[in-house]
Structure 1
Amino acid sequence: MPKVVFPLDNSKSFTDQQIVGHNRWHPDIPAHVHVKPGDTFRVDCREWFDGAIHNDDSADDVLNAPLPGVHVLSGPIEVEGAEPGDLLMVDILDVGPVPQEDSGPLAGQGWGYTGIFATQNGGGFLTEQFPDAYKVIWDFRGGVATSRHIPGVSFVGIVHPGLMGTAPSANLLATWNAREQELIDTNPTRVPPLALPPLPDSAILGTLEGDEFNRVAREAARTAPPRENGGNQDIKNFTKGTRVFYPVFVNGAKLSMGDLHFSQGDGEITFCGAIEMGGFMDLGVDLIKGGMQTYGVSENAIFMPGTTDPQFSEWLAFSGTSVTLEGKQHYLDAQLSYQRACLHAIDYLVKFGYTPEQAYMILGAAPIEGRLSGVVDIPNSCSTVYIPTAIFDFDVSPGKGGPHQVDPGRGVPKASF
């Protein structure tokens, strides 16, 4: 096992650890872990809510989840010799749930969860159709996820970090804040909001204290969206064996990571749509000096996916076009067409006995594939959702005998208020 450079004690909260991480992006958050190019090391990661979600049959914790405090990230990790303009090469050597802890109160200790957020808490991809808070608990055994809340479904985990990236420069941070505030100002009372501005409340900034903490907390960017530094990209193919190339914007690069997922469908469509968990990452790092200019990577991460994804050979696919449920035509709106494809898949699974919420959770947590299938044929874009048929323990394809009927069991817990 590689040396653990960022350890977490699962009996303590994130802010009571030997090394305290962070939940905001800012170049002045100090790095208390230092590695060299060529090093390999292990990083422990806490699930993004730091234990606020519980292994039970109530969704009240999802309804009241402490969103201002996410994501709790391990880092920053300074890479010796990294300078602005370099590319930081990160190899994901291994990633998984909490090692040797198959049971416990924290997600990652033999279990994880998927949630649908209520609209007032950010909603999800289909928040107009699913405005309330729900939760599903998944159990891990032998690398396979099953749930007491969704019968008839099991699949191999496609374990990956939802969030990883480098620190922004001061100029890049200012650009983020300005452009996102400009968007917010177009509709400042929208629910859910158009973007999340800096928020000192619940900020975790490593070892910063006093006036410096207050300054950074006022400026630091929230970790919710993906940005030029990588960030919360939620790419399910960041599995074991992946190599990622991140732009370096500050000396030392200041790499951070977290938000581990046991599995996820493309898009993480319920917002809390992956199977969220804590765990570990084994990483290797190296540098390509001047690589941003050499390879034209100025504002994006690029990656080579790992080769450990579960291999499915049969799929059931659903398409959607850029027309609203009310019949209004939109012009090449790929997000709308993906929403319609997801809704078509949900309508189909309901015919097999699942509740709409169970079907929605399947699309968020299982390793579905989402594709832009047509983006040039005006006025309709076409998006598709591919569901691997092997995740069901019955034949889910259409047939002359009609759909198999699943007993939905206890169903998906809904928040009580």
Structure 2
Amino acid sequence: MVLSPALPYRSAQTVPGHTRWHPEIPAVAEVISGGSVRMECQGTWGRDALLCGPLAVVGAEPGDLIVVDVLAIGRLDGGPSGDSHPGVIGCAPGDEDLPSPGELDGSLLGRVRPGLAAYQPVAARAVRSSARDDIGSCAEVRLTAGSRIVLPVQVRGAKLSVGDLHFAGDPLQGCRTLDGWIDVRVNLTKRGVERFQVTGPLLMPAA
């Protein structure tokens, strides 16, 4: 997985992916409000979406909103992108939204790798990457280029992640999940949750 400035494409940084949401998964890069970034995403990891990120938004605090504009989506193999869209995009949940400790199942946690002291407590309470609509699942909404996503911030830096890119395939088979890239622009709205009474993700497909 790679993050790099979206416009122009340069200084790419390879980063580990993650299959779970957790506030203690470290951010792999930062973006300022108004900045754009390209995120290269792999397909799935078993039954879970393999996410690219998290991306820290400078200055974001709980109670703020981030506005994510989808600029473009493409396939890494250069094939036609068609009606492409992410299946998962969201911010890290707060500690109060994590489940009770459960069994470890080999989940990927980005830079929190197996063998590190932090791995077991994080893995035990982390949320599956595509399990909950209130965190990041948008599989039912086609967020193609031109779409906008408004996300409440639950943790410092927001920690934005995206993955599970879908591309149009055979009409009988529907979308296929393939390796690809997505360019997004991120803007920060301070105290947006209170000011605009936003309680969960707002998904605004392109017209």
Gaps of 5+ in 2: 1-5
Q: SS of 2:118's equivalent?
A: helix
| 1:198 shift after superposition | 5.0
Find the aligned partners of 2:110 and 2:152 in 1 and give their Cα distance: 22
Find the aligned partners of 1:28 and 1:94 in 2 and give their Cα distance: 29
Match of 1:41 in 2: 37
Q: SS of 1:227's equivalent?
A: coil
| 1:276 shift after superposition | 1.2
Where relative contact order (Cα < 8 A, 6+ residues apart) is larger, the structure is 2
Report the CA distance shift for 1:258/1:6 in structure 2 as closer, same or farther (over 3 A): farther
Q: SS of 1:78's equivalent?
A: strand
Pair 1:303 & 2:203 matched: yes
Match of 1:74 in 2: 52
Match of 1:208 in 2: 112
Kept in 1, the 8 Å contact 2:27–2:55? The answer is yes
Pair 1:31 & 2:27 matched: yes
Pick aligned residue for 1:250 from 149, 155, 162:
155
Deviations 1:293-326 (A, max 9, x none): 111112x21132213xxxxxxxxxxxxxxxxxxx
| 1:288 shift after superposition | 1.0
Match of 1:400 in 2: none
| Alignment root-mean-square deviation, CA | 2.3
Match of 1:293 in 2: 194
Match of 1:274 in 2: 175
| 1:75 shift after superposition | 0.3
Letter aligned with residue 243 of structure 1:
R
Report the CA distance shift for 1:211/1:240 in structure 2 as closer, same or farther (over 3 A): same
Bigger Rg, structure 1 or 2: 1
Letter aligned with residue 62 of structure 2:
P
Match of 1:137 in 2: none
Report the CA distance shift for 1:5/1:284 in structure 2 as closer, same or farther (over 3 A): farther
Find the aligned partners of 1:205 and 1:257 in 2 and give their Cα distance: 14
Match of 1:220 in 2: 126
TM-score scaled to structure 1, two decimals?
Answer: 0.44
Match of 2:3 in 1: none
Pair 1:284 & 2:189 matched: no
Find the aligned partners of 1:249 and 1:6 in 2 and give their Cα distance: 29
Match of 1:169 in 2: 94
Report the CA distance shift for 1:83/1:305 in structure 2 as closer, same or farther (over 3 A): same
Find the aligned partners of 2:103 and 2:25 in 1 and give their Cα distance: 15
Q: SS of 2:7's equivalent?
A: coil
Kept in 1, the 8 Å contact 2:51–2:129? The answer is no
Find the aligned partners of 2:205 and 2:130 in 1 and give their Cα distance: 23
Summarize the alignment of residues 355-374 of structure 1 with structure 2, pairs less than 5 Å apart. none
TM-score scaled to structure 2, two decimals?
Answer: 0.86
Find the aligned partners of 1:225 and 1:20 in 2 and give their Cα distance: 20
Find the aligned partners of 1:273 and 1:92 in 2 and give their Cα distance: 22
| 1:263 shift after superposition | 3.0
Find the aligned partners of 2:11 and 2:43 in 1 and give their Cα distance: 15
Pick aligned residue for 1:22 from 18, 25, 43:
18
Pair 1:92 & 2:88 matched: no
- Higher helix proportion (structure 1 or 2): 1
Deviations 1:155-212 (A, max 9, x none): xx31100100000010122xxx25xxxxxxxxxxxxxxxxxx9552221111124221
Report the CA distance shift for 1:6/1:240 in structure 2 as closer, same or farther (over 3 A): farther
Find the aligned partners of 1:248 and 1:273 in 2 and give their Cα distance: 33
Kept in 2, the 8 Å contact 1:158–1:236? The answer is no
Summarize the alignment of residues 7-406 of structure 1 with structure 2, pairs less than 5 Å apart. 18-49=14-45, 66-67=46-47, 70-98=48-76, 101-102=77-78, 110=79, 140=80, 143=81, 157-173=82-98, 177=99, 199-209=103-113, 210-229=116-135, 231-263=136-168, 274-298=175-199, 300-307=200-207
Kept in 2, the 8 Å contact 1:6–1:44? The answer is no
Find the aligned partners of 2:143 and 2:19 in 1 and give their Cα distance: 21
Deviations 1:389-417 (A, max 9, x none): xxxxxxxxxxxxxxxxxxxxxxxxxxxxx
Report the CA distance shift for 1:89/1:199 in structure 2 as closer, same or farther (over 3 A): farther
Report the CA distance shift for 1:234/1:164 in structure 2 as closer, same or farther (over 3 A): same
Letter aligned with residue 30 of structure 2:
H
Report the CA distance shift for 1:199/1:161 in structure 2 as closer, same or farther (over 3 A): farther
Gaps of 5+ in 1: 9-17, 50-65, 103-109, 111-139, 144-156, 179-196, 265-271, 308-417
Aligned residues: 197
